[in-house]
Amino acid sequence: MWKRAWPSHTKPVNFKAGQQADWFLLMHDLLAVGFSLQHAVQFSQRAYPQQAAFFSKIDQQLRTGCLLADALKPYLRIELYYQLLLAEQHGSLSITLKEIGQYLQVQKQQHRQLKTLLEYPLILLVMLGTILAALLIFVFPELQSWQQQNQLPIGEQWPIGETLIITGGVFFSYGGLAAIHWRHMSTLKKVRHQCRWPLFGKIFREYYGYYLTSNLAILLQHGFSLHEICQLTNKFDDDSLLHQVGQAAFELSSQGRQLTDLILKAPFLPDELAIFINRGLTNEQLGQELTLFSKLKFKKFRQSTMHILVLVQPALFILIAAGIFLMYLSILLPIYHSLQEVY
């Protein structure tokens, strides 16, 4: 459904993520063949009859002069809202609707593929957990009883139950503290951390590289200088990434430092951006080149997600194999030590 990270005063609408992606792409197609924005929204009421009331509300807001981005604001993530707002204000609405639709489609495909990849390993993990519980409840006590009855020395047994309890406690405690810390971090710090995550960091770097260069290209093509862009983004919501990146760039320029210093240090900004900026192009030329570059980054983002998802299932199988090995070890070691004492 439409998610509302902000503001929090409206009710969610039963509009699934897959339908959102299809609707953004539909809006792009309708605008491309000559539909007006309001006519396209009215057509959406017939194309999605279950969400007719939602689109009727959007249509009413458009009639009063409201922008599409503002009408959708309660239902969009803050980054997508500003991407849509900048495009609508500066004449790139149709292209941006297509890009947002494609991005949501990638997310939908990721979730579907990840769910498929996790089904079999999760079944194995449940079975492994069941076997482990049976070992702790039935096998290990019987093993100790057998050793005592035969007056065999009780071999050293790895305390698997205690280890799992301690490991689980540490894991959940750390996870809880990390979640609390994460909630109090600024958007910019969150993005920095995401771009440095092992395995998934590349996906975030490619996405944020696409997102920031795409919005920068739109503004440059419409005559904004880098200084004016910083002033514009300073008016955005404090939690938005565009606001915080613009603020960081403004503070850097006020210190007399080059923008390339920020680009080369920030993991969410592609290093190639410094090369584009230092070429001495006009704002319009720079905007055109960054538009093409942002499309390349989006293509790499899609490729990265596919490559990472392929690794998920093998990683889980390795984890399961390690669990099976440790269970065998926990059974055989006590027997081995007991028999070693006998012979």
pLDDT tens digits for 159-190? 555 666 677 678 788 888 888 888 889 999 99
**Residue at a domain's end among 59, 76, 93:** 76
> Is residue 53 in a domain?
yes
Whether the pLDDT of residue 19 is over 70: the answer is yes
C-alpha span between 244 and 250 (Å, rounded): 10
- pLDDT tens-digit readout, 93-103: 999 999 999 99
Tokens of 83: 């991407």
- Cβ(54)–Cβ(15) under 8 Å? yes
- Looking at the structure, do residues 108 and 179 belong to the same domain, yes or no? yes
Whether the pLDDT of residue 304 is over 50: the answer is yes
Q: Stretch 69-76: mean pLDDT, rounded?
A: 90
C-alpha span between 264 and 24 (Å, rounded): 34
- Looking at the structure, do residues 127 and 35 belong to the same domain, yes or no? no
Phi, psi of 77 (to 5 degrees): -65, 150
- pLDDT tens-digit readout, 330-342: 777 766 666 665 5
- Looking at the structure, do residues 61 and 189 belong to the same domain, yes or no? no
> Is residue 89 in a domain?
no
C-alpha span between 245 and 240 (Å, rounded): 9
The per-residue pLDDT for 126 is: 84
- Looking at the structure, do residues 120 and 185 belong to the same domain, yes or no? yes
pLDDT band for position 83 (cuts 50, 70, 90): very high
Top-confidence residue, 80 or 113: 80
Q: What is the DSSP string of 130-144?
A: HHHHHIIIIIHHHHH
- Looking at the structure, do residues 262 and 178 belong to the same domain, yes or no? yes
- Looking at the structure, do residues 141 and 253 belong to the same domain, yes or no? yes
> Domain residues for 24?
17-76
> Is residue 124 in a domain?
yes
What percentage of the chain reaches a pLDDT higher than 70? 85
C-alpha span between 287 and 315 (Å, rounded): 41
pLDDT band for position 5 (cuts 50, 70, 90): very low
The per-residue pLDDT for 204 is: 93
> Is residue 86 in a domain?
no
For 36-76, give the secondary structure using H, E and C.
Answer: CHHHHHHHHHHHCHHHHHHHHHHHHHHHCCCCHHHHHHHHC
**Sign, CA torsion 277/282/287/290:** negative
> Is residue 301 in a domain?
yes
pLDDT band for position 198 (cuts 50, 70, 90): confident
> Is residue 130 in a domain?
yes
- Cβ(45)–Cβ(56) under 8 Å? yes
- Looking at the structure, do residues 61 and 150 belong to the same domain, yes or no? no
**Residue at a domain's end among 39, 61, 76:** 76
- pLDDT tens-digit readout, 249-261: 988 888 878 888 8
The per-residue pLDDT for 343 is: 55
- Looking at the structure, do residues 313 and 213 belong to the same domain, yes or no? yes
The per-residue pLDDT for 317 is: 85
> Is residue 259 in a domain?
yes
The per-residue pLDDT for 1 is: 39
* Average predicted confidence (pLDDT) for the chain: 83
- Cβ(87)–Cβ(285) under 8 Å? no
Q: Stretch 290-319: mean pLDDT, rounded?
A: 88
**Residue at a domain's end among 61, 76, 91:** 76
Count of structural domains, the chain: 2
- Looking at the structure, do residues 201 and 65 belong to the same domain, yes or no? no
Give alpha helix (H) positions in the chain. 17-32, 37-47, 52-63, 68-72, 78-89, 93-134, 140-149, 160-183, 187-196, 201-221, 226-233, 241-254, 259-265, 272-277, 283-342
C-alpha span between 94 and 189 (Å, rounded): 32
C-alpha span between 210 and 291 (Å, rounded): 9
- Looking at the structure, do residues 162 and 54 belong to the same domain, yes or no? no
- pLDDT tens-digit readout, 225-244: 888 888 889 889 999 999 99
Top-confidence residue, 175 or 143: 175
- Looking at the structure, do residues 293 and 206 belong to the same domain, yes or no? yes
> Greatest CA separation found in the chain?
92
The per-residue pLDDT for 4 is: 39
The per-residue pLDDT for 56 is: 93
- Looking at the structure, do residues 48 and 156 belong to the same domain, yes or no? no
> Is residue 11 in a domain?
no
